[in-house]
Amino acid sequence: MTDINETHDPKLRSWVESANSEHADFPIQNLPFGRFRRANSDDPLRIGVAIGDQVLDLKAAGLVDHADMNLLMAATPAERHALRKAISAGLAEGSGKQVVWARALTAQSAVTMAVPCQIGDYTDFYVGIHHATTVGKLFRPDNPLMPNYKWVPIGYHGRASSIGVSGQRFRRPMGQLKGEAAAPVLGPTQRLDYELELGFFAGTGNALGESIPIGQAEQHLFGVCLFNDWSARDIQAWEYQPLGPFLAKNFASTVSPWIVTMEALAPFRAAPFERPAGDPQPLPYLDSAANRESGALDINLEVWLQTAKMRAAGEGAVRLTRGNARQAAYWTPAQLITHHTVNGCNLQPGDLLGSGTLSGPESDQAGSLLELTLGGKQPITLPNGERHAFLQDGDTLTMRGWCERAGAARIGLGEVSGTVLPNASPL
C-alpha cells in the first residue's frame, strides 16, 4: 500500500489559488486524472489533472509525451509515484514551473470531460453487506444471504459500451415485465433505480494465466471513481435467474470524470468492515495482515435528487442518503483484484470493477431506492410534496464523495450525475 509522503502534507499549498480552499475537492494533495477537451469542440482528448477549479494539461506541461490515459495507467507503481511527485512539486506554491505551467491550465468550466479512460471490460461486484441483506430480506425473509456470500466476492460481467461520464442522459429502458398475468409483456421499466457505488480502475495488468496475490493486488489498482449502476428492478426480477443481470443493467452506467489515485487516498485507509462473530474468515488467498489493518477506504458518500418539477420551480436537489464506504463493504478492493484473477483472468489497464451498492446499516444510509422504499411499498415524500417509489422521467440523480480525517487535507471524488429521459422505443 502507498506510503504517506511529502505530496500528502496538509500544509502544502498551490499557486493555483482555488486549490487552497478549505472545502475544495481537488487540492494539491489530491491530483486526480481525467480526459478532457475544450468545450464545444472536436479537439482530441487530452490527459488532465484537476487542481482547484482548473485542469492541468499534462502534455502541454511537458509531463507526458502522449494523450493515452490507458498507457499512463499501465505504468509501474514507481513510475506513477514519480509522476505524482513531479506534478505536486510543479503545482506547489513557490514552484519555478508556475510561469510555464500556468499556460497549460484551463478552467474546468471551459472543458468537456469524457469517460476517464478506455474501458475494455467491466465487472460489477456485490460487496455491500447491508444492501445485500436488506434486498435479500425482500425476497427471502428467513434467508437473505446466499451461502456463498461470506466466502467469495460475488460479481458478474457487465457491459462496458454503455458506460458514460457524469452528465449522462439516457432513455428509460424497455424489457420484459412479469406481473400477475401468466405471460410477460414488453414495456418501459416502471421501477428504475440508482445504485451508489465506487468504481475501481485497474492499472498495470497481469498476463493471462497469472494470478495476482493479495500482497501485490494494490500495485495493479490505479484509482477510484464514483459509479452509478442504474438498474431496472422489474426487468431484473424476471430475467436474472439463472444467469444474472442482463437488460436490467446494460442500458446505462455512469462514472465520475476524475480518477482519484490510490496514492492520493493513502491518508484515508482504514481497517475493513468488522465481520460479526460467527462469520467465516476469508480463505488464505484473500487474507493478509496489511489488508486486515488498512485494506478499506474511508470515503463519505451522498446521494441527491432533483426532479423535473423541482428544476422547473428553481429548487435545488435534496439529499436522499449519506453513508461511508468503509462501513458498507464486506470485501476490500485488494480482495476483488485477487479473486478476479485467481483463475488466471487477465486484467488490463482501464478495466473497471464496480463495488456494488454501498449502503450503510441505517435506513437513511441506503444506496438505492429499492431499499429506501422497501421495494416500492413505502414511497419517500420530497420537500415539495412529490412522492417517489422509483425514478421518474426528468429526475437528475447526483452522487458525491469525499475523504476527511484529522491530520490530512480533505480531498474529494467530485460528483457523478445522470438524468432520466422518457422512453422513445418504436416497439
Provide the annotated active-site residues: 131
Alpha-carbon gap, residue 200 to 122, rounded angstroms? 10
Cβ contact 32:116 at 8 Å: no
- Continuous H helices in 281-427: 289-294, 308-312, 325-328, 333-341, 369-372
Exposed / middle / buried, residue 235 (Cβ in 10 Å: 0-12, 13-18, 19+):
buried
Q: 79 by DSSP, 3-state: which?
A: helix
Strand partners, 227: 197, 255
Exposed / middle / buried, residue 57 (Cβ in 10 Å: 0-12, 13-18, 19+):
buried
Alpha-carbon gap, residue 197 to 128, rounded angstroms? 9
Place of cell 445485500: 132
CB half-sphere exposure, 268, CA atoms < 13 A: 29
Count CB neighbours of 300 within 10 A: 18
Q: How far apart are the first and last CA of the chain?
A: 52
Q: CA nearest 318: which of 414, 385, 389, 266? A: 385
Type of residue at 264: A
